[in-house]
Structure 1
């Protein structure tokens, strides 16, 4: 990741650094409100830099950074900028290209290292403290609608995983961020660099190319680093455990798995496993499995000619009557009514 992009301090960063050194009593590396550091920002962002001042605000809309005809934007984090609380209406991928930074959230802070990626959901209050010449950080800012297409759509058909990611990205008060430790993955660095270089040029189909590269970026994260995803507020028994492995295992074995067999496989008690799943997805083990079964049943009803009895068996129900009752509870229709409505005459 350290070859993604590297630049020396800009003139604005040099000014910010001088002010930080000149005012140690202000502790500008610690988080403040915007009002508390407004004078510092106003001293730096004058003249030619004054238009950039509007980007340093506490509530940032998509239009501030993302051009009208684009779905995303790349913005280098300005080193030595006073740390202050802010939030925005878009998704933000904070990538540590080199060095370290402190990522500060209302419930605590943590250090990010070279190669780390943190995904902040919209409306997540946070602050970033990067007070070193070596701290190269890149922000990839993505519209909510684009993020849904390029990341969440990858979970299509994987109902349990989709539920988890929706909880992460749309309930920031519960899970305010998603951290991925990539260990300087060169393939990710190449994809990120290609997307950034495309962003810096004015070629035909620029937006489409960047979106394609970011989709590949997300796929590579899932392909290489599922075990490296760190989720706050999901208490695992050891650092070697991964909620993604547990959810994937549930996903793969949803027709036959029980809470007890899942807990035994991962060496947890039933109670511990139930808590882990509920913390991660907001639903119990049974609710997750039923939702996955119903989604698969709906897919089979709409795309195959399998009988309702056969579909019932395929998704792991012993009782057709029980299947019909739960399906109607989920969709407001019986399986027969659902098939008729979704396949036409």
Structure 2
């Protein structure tokens, strides 16, 4: 296992992908295509660039348990801070480029801003440079392709030739505005596998005139994007990254978290967290914690046979009547009525 720890540490440090102190990911090229192929035992990563040499590594999932690797050093955390979880979250970040995820096989989860997006086979998500997001990497049979395109390359080599007016408008907003909102598209059930395979081959082999071929395949992919869902959300900059940490901590410790705990964990004042949560969610700290607890209570009501008293206690309420009052105010049903409605 030690040989893998040395390899992964070296790869992450030498990769063409970098993170700056503003929580932005950038890469030292014009275009990249990443391929993730996961099985229950191994994960394989291959990154091909327009000009740089490719990066490739195959490792067993047991590496997530390797004490020789400090994943936090590279910004990776195990899902919900659970050291027993196999899933790992990539660093919560935004890009300095356009990014496209495409699912060839399996199901991929991506946290985008405050939403967990689930992509099935042939689904795609398009992210502008303001979208904070984090990838959920798990030992399931998956084949994921990710394209990154720098804005300078888009402006000079792609933008003038795009005829799809919706995608052209999306890119126009990226190129013209300094502080655009976070915007992303979800495109469901679009058959782009053949184009992605041809693009992969050109980026690997780099035969004569490969740059022209890559540009044409990128244009063909962009031309085919017709959004199923469009999401536009206010951009919160560095505050968005801090809020993500707050949200993750509260969701993992919902049964007993306090503002004092947050202040101790993230080294900001309690007043700062109150203002931050209010600015981003529109709720007070207490209201947001209640929402998290009620969401967990709903999950337990749907998926377990625990008594309502046990569920109330598990999500942080000793007073059962108080739990009932909050639940009914939020969902206009008692917990018992909610369980019956969902199960029927």
Provide the TM-score with structure 2 as the length reference: 0.44
Greater gyration radius: 1
Which of the pair is proportionally richer in helix? 1
Which of the pair is proportionally richer in strand? 2
Provide the TM-score with structure 1 as the length reference: 0.44
